[in-house]
Structure 1
Amino acid sequence: GGADNDTLKGGRADDRLKGDAGADTLDGGPGRDKLTGGADDDTFVFSNLRKPDKVTDMSDGDVIALTKSAFPGIGPEGTLGADAFHIGFTATKPDQKIVYNEHSGWLEWYRHGSQTTDPVAFAKIGKHLDFIDHTDFIVI
């Protein structure tokens, strides 16, 4: 990417996408990708859960976009519901679908909330991000 608002999409392989300045949208695709938004408020799209991606510079103002096709039952389009997000080691309630482990930096998908026996780690966004809450996620 460059100084403008760029849209970058990876291919099937493992990619390194770098947005640079501007409000960029980065979608790594099906590979194990490294995503760097750069300056300004960026959007990181997760549309495939086959291999986890790493967001190298998650910061306040950035957004994680979750596609309904990759996250069935996540909820309606728009901002992720408050009940669907949890900070901790595991989902503790049935409605908690996205769990941020601040000690490991991983985001995990719990399809059936606390009833999920095999959560999917889909992104490493950084440890101890004290600004993260449900408003940093959108469903698309």
Structure 2
Amino acid sequence: MFQRAMFSCCGLGNDSLAGGLGNDSLAGGEGNDYLNDGESNFYSAVPEGNDTLDGGLGDDYLAGGLGNDTLDGGLGKDTLFGYEGNDILIGGAGADRFDFFDPIQEINRITDFSVVDDTITILSSGFGFSASVANRVLAQSAFHLGIGATDADDRFIYNSVNGSLFFDADGLGGVNQIQIAILSTGLAMTNLDIFIVHS
């Protein structure tokens, strides 16, 4: 059965939107919004407010806004981007992608990151990487497991004790490392879990 796509956009209030079975695009506007999709592929963006986005069953793109948002991909291969605010990102089942455009988006909590299925994707220009290293996984030398960088090559540091993921611009201590995410503790995380895309 063919299902029509749905687009819905709300304004300044606290809104509740449900997409249904089609391929939907929902935009909450201002206010604290709840967006829920059914069985379709879902695109949603919420610019303001503390919002909740629930992707449902499809392969969804969920983007938060300026508030402290909760993004739940549900089933499917979902892409989640928290943007500003201290956001909660839940990939759900499937191979999910968590996007970071720069290291100053505030700290996002990824509740269910899987080193088997999921990927953290970073924008090359936002994190100071050249185009020559884009569209590939992070170099092994640029990833470190511990509490801080140990040499000039280290860029991403995962603390398996408390789940913190940091970015270090120089690895030398000249610039303080910045926490970008909180993951589960004890993950067998490596450089292969981080992918660089060209801006």
Q: Aligning the two structures, in what range does the TM-score lie when normalised by the shorter sequence?
A: over 0.9
| Matched ranges for 1:12-91 at <5 A | 12-48=66-102, 49-59=104-114, 60-73=116-129, 76-77=133-134, 78-91=136-149
The TM-score, its normalising length taken from structure 1, stands at 0.93
Which one is further off, 22-31 or 116-125? Answer: 116-125
Length, aligned pairs only: 139
Which ranges of structure 1 fall in alignment gaps of 5 or more residues?
none
Local SS of the residue matching 1:135: helix
How far 1:61 moved relative to its partner? 1.3
CA displacement at 1:136 relative to structure 2: 0.6
Secondary structure of the residue aligned to 1:122 is strand
SS at match of 1:51: coil
Q: Please, what TM-score do these two structures have when normalized by structure 2?
A: 0.67
CA shift, 1:30, in A, is 1.3
Verify the 8 A CA contact 1:110 1:116 in the aligned structure 2: no
RMSD: 1.4
Q: Percent of aligned pairs with the same residue? A: 33
Moved more, 43-52 or 81-90: 43-52
8 Å Cα contact 2:83/2:105 also seen in 1: no
Q: Which has the larger radius of gyration?
A: 2
Once the two structures are TM-superposed, the CA of residue 17 in structure 1 deviates from its matched residue by 0.2
- Specify every segment of 5 or more residues in structure 2 that has no aligned partner in the other structure, as ranges: 1-54
Which protein, 1 or 2, shows the higher relative CO under an 8 Å CA cutoff with sep ≥ 6?
1
Secondary structure (helix, strand or coil) at the match of 1:115 reads coil
- Whether the aligned pair in 1 keeps the contact of 2:138 and 2:192 (CA below 8 Å) is yes
